[in-house]
Amino acid sequence: MKIALLGNPGAGKSLIFNQLTGLGVEVNRYPGSSVCLECGNVCYKKEKIEIVDLPGIYSLDGSSEEEVLVRKFLESGEADIIVAVLDATKLERNLYLFSQVAEFSPKIIAIVNMIDDAERQGLIIDVDTLSTHLGVPVLLTAASEGRDIDRILPLALGSGRVVTLQVPYDHHIEAALKSLEKTLGTPRYKNLLALQGTGEDHMLLDAAGAIAHEIEQRHRMSVRQIIATNRHNFARNVAAVAVRQGDRKKTYDLDSLLTRVFPGVPILIAILFFLLLFVFVIGSWMQELIVQNFTTYVILPFGAMGFPPFVERIGFSVLIALEAGLGIAFPFIFTFYLGLSLLEDTGYMTRAAFLADRAMHRLGLHGEAIIPMVIGFGCTVPAVMSLRILKTRREQTIAAFLISMVPCSARTVVIAGIVAAFVGIIWAFSIYLIVFVLIILTAVVLSRITPGEQFGMIVEMSVLRRPQVRLVLAKSWLRIKEFLFIAMPLLIITSIALGLFQYFGLTDLFQQMVAPVTVTLLGLPGYASTALLFGVFRKELAFETLAVLAGTADLGSVMTAAELYTFAIVSVLFIPCISTIAVLYRQLGARITALISVYTVFLGFFVGAIINILMK
């Protein structure tokens, strides 16, 4: 038995999914698509039920990946029952999508969620009237409170039925649908899509196109507009008889502050600053605590056990990987997702995206990208993992390139520990300036060459509400466990490979091979190449390894200011750390990960070579 949840963004669909499935969730790519679906299992009356959380969409007519995926899912008939989740506070708008889903004639029930918000707004929904007009069972729920969530599965399994609802379209549209069905034998929903130019059946598209042209000449408007108008009229009429306005509680309109340029932008900057500060301060404290204890109680005792050199090297590589993953990346991921889930639960994220959209649009992105870009200053790993909030593959690709260049806390260690300490604070700030200029230039170029259509951002403001600790923690764990169970194994494997590389003496051979680059092109000592290599494992390790290989922590005594500056900027721009690469591979695949790696290596060497020439 398979049940699919379907609805508009912000209708509470994913929250219902999490409450039905608990924490046992798998994230899989839908065949033939880059969009991920969340799937979970639940046992009800000794029967295993698979629940699928489909992407939130507003319509089935569009060409976005999410809309195409949901349309194909409905056409395939994979789900035994569709659970349509409707926002009680925006019922008319949500009924537009419901009317489209009904055309596929699935078994369906309607869940009118967020009834708690509707009650605060004084909205009263007549369940029986709504059920009569939709032709399916209707249940009122408040997922944020857990109200009546336990009634969803019994209703779906016991009362779900094939919907017979048909939107009353214009008589010319109805005549066209009957004509296509009679001549070609195609179902009503395919004919409706074909009249709007959507579909893969060329014979149907040609026939529908000819009819659509005649209709458009008669109405002086496109068939798509006619159909959309008919659906909106249907949704408005149903909402008018099923919803009435009662006494509304008086509340202050915070959006009058949060969505204006002033004070909205200063508030946004302050929130992002404190989010970054929270991630950086708490994450750094957790990092120091975990690394110190892991080194004292695990790594040092392991080194004192006297294992054979080969076993010791393998074991040490595994432990270093665990320390890097749990001690370096995890604290920042944990704190970031706590903060992000908190902002999401309050409903503020849509306001932030709205305010940042104009600036981000110039970089080929939308306002939603502001969060992962800012959090990249704390740690690149959670920043990359948060790319899923971006809607299109194009935006995710551009943002991944830019995030991989943002100076994270580990890169800040390199900048502060090498440049600020031995060259000067002004020179340290100049590295940030160079990196920011490169990020903007990269974004401008990528916005022009990255394939895919750039859509305008239409965002529906979520209702502002008080966050609930239980929901924030549950949502955070769902995201954090992906790093623990997917990125960590890749991190350990790569660390073992680097350990073997060092054990078999390939480090010296590597230094000789890359000497033309590090010594001639970049003007660095030969051992700096090994430090850069270990910086791939984690960025601040480049600094630590350089001090070890130089034989002193006083790097200013063995390297010139120009060499230190060049090494620092190459290390900052150089290929992302292993944790980031592992997460990039999981999020965007091998091809994009390889492109980002090659680009950052080239960029690091190119900028380093220019600085070497200028500072000679």
What tens digit of pLDDT does each residue of 421-459 get?
Answer: 788 888 888 888 899 899 999 988 998 888 876 666 556
Tokens encoding 530: 């090994």
**In this model, does residue 59 exceed pLDDT 70?**
yes
The phi-psi region of residue 40 (left if phi > 0; otherwise alpha if psi is between -120 and 50; otherwise beta) is: beta
Residue 496, phi then psi, degrees to nearest 5 = -60, -40
Nearest alpha-carbon partner for 84 in 176, 165, 190: 165
The angle that helices 469-482 and 330-346 make with each other, rounded to 10 degrees, is 140
Q: Angle of helix 539-550 relative to helix 528-535, nearest 10 degrees?
A: 150
Determine the average pLDDT of the residues in 487-508: 72
Q: What is the pLDDT of residue 31?
A: 43
CATH superfamily name and code, 2-162: P-loop containing nucleotide triphosphate hydrolases (3.40.50.300)
Give pLDDT, residue 240: 93
pLDDT single digits (tens) 194-251: 898 888 888 988 998 899 999 988 888 899 999 999 999 999 999 999 998 877 666 6
Distances in Å between the Cα of 35 and the Cα atoms of 5, 29, 223, 392 are: 16, 6, 29, 9
CB 523 within 8 Å of CB 616: yes
Tokens of 161: 């039925």
Higher confidence at residue 389 or residue 517? 517
The amino acid at 20: L
Q: How many residues make up the chain in this entry? A: 616
Of residues 358 and 444, the one with the higher pLDDT is: 444
Quick one: pLDDT at residue 321? 72
Separation of alpha carbons 463 and 349, rounded Å: 11
Q: Domain map of the chain by residue range?
A: 2-162, 171-245, 261-410+451-490, 491-614
Contacts 24+ apart (CB under 8 A), 516-522: 517/605, 521/605, 521/608, 521/609, 521/612, 522/566, 522/567, 522/570, 522/605, 522/608, 522/609, 522/612
Torsion, CA 525, CA 530, CA 535, CA 541, rounded to 10: -90
Q: Which of 385, 427, 428, 386 is nearest to 407 (CA)?
A: 428
Between helix 202-219 and helix 223-242 the angle, nearest 10°, is: 80
DSSP structure class, residue 461: P
Q: Which residues contact 555 (CB under 8 A, 6 or more apart)?
A: 418, 422, 546, 547, 564
The mean of the pLDDT values for the chain is 81
This prediction has a pTM of 0.66
Percentage of the chain lying above the pLDDT 70 cut: 87
3-state class (DSSP) for residue 76: helix
State pLDDT tens for residues 272-304.
777 767 766 777 788 778 878 888 888 888 888
What tokens appear for 356 in the block? Answer: 């940042």
Per-residue model confidence (pLDDT) at position 27: 46
* Tokens, residue 359: 């600036």
Taking 80 as the threshold, does the pLDDT of residue 87 lie above it?
A: yes
pLDDT band per the 50, 70, 90 thresholds, residue 33? very low
pLDDT in tens, 129-155: 999 999 899 999 998 888 889 899 989
The answer to whether residue 471 scores a pLDDT higher than 80 is no
Which range has highest mean pLDDT (180-184, 234-238, 366-370, 525-529)?
Answer: 234-238
CA-angle at 268, arms to 262 and 272, nearest 5°: 155
CB 109 within 8 A of CB 136: yes
Beta-bridge partner residues of 26: 39
Enter the tokens of residue 46.
Answer: 């000794």
Looking at per-residue confidence, does 85 or 515 come out higher?
A: 85
550 burial class (0-12, 13-18, 19+ CB within 10 angstroms)? Answer: middle
pLDDT tens track for 172-182: 998 998 999 88
Residue type, 180: L
Contact assessment for residue 468 and residue 568, using Cβ atoms and an 8 Å cutoff: no
138 within 8 A of 130, measured Cβ to Cβ: yes
Distance CA 401, CA 581 (A): 12
553: Cβ contacts below 8 Å, ≥ 6 apart: 547
pLDDT for the residue 137:
92
Q: What mean pLDDT is predicted for residues 400-429?
A: 80
* DSSP-derived pairing of the beta strands 2-7 and 47-53: parallel
In angstroms and rounded to an integer, the radius of gyration of the C-alpha atoms of the chain is 28
pLDDT surpasses 70 at 317:
yes
What values do phi and psi take at 465, rounded to 5? -145, 165
At position 185, the amino acid (one-letter code) is: G
Helices (H), 103-170: 115-120, 127-134, 152-159
More confident residue, 466 or 591: 591
Residue 162, phi then psi, degrees to nearest 5: -65, 125
- Cα torsion through 16, 22, 26, 29, rounded to 10: 0
Q: Distance (Å, rounded) from C-alpha 418 to C-alpha 47?
A: 61
- Three-class secondary structure of residue 195 per DSSP: helix
The letter for the amino acid at 366 is: H
Q: In angstroms, how far apart are the furthest CA atoms of the chain?
A: 89
Cα dihedral sign for 573, 574, 580, 586? positive
Please give the class, per CATH, of domain 171-245: mainly alpha
CA neighbours closer than 13 Å in the CB half-sphere of residue 78: 16
Q: What does the pLDDT read at residue 251?
A: 63
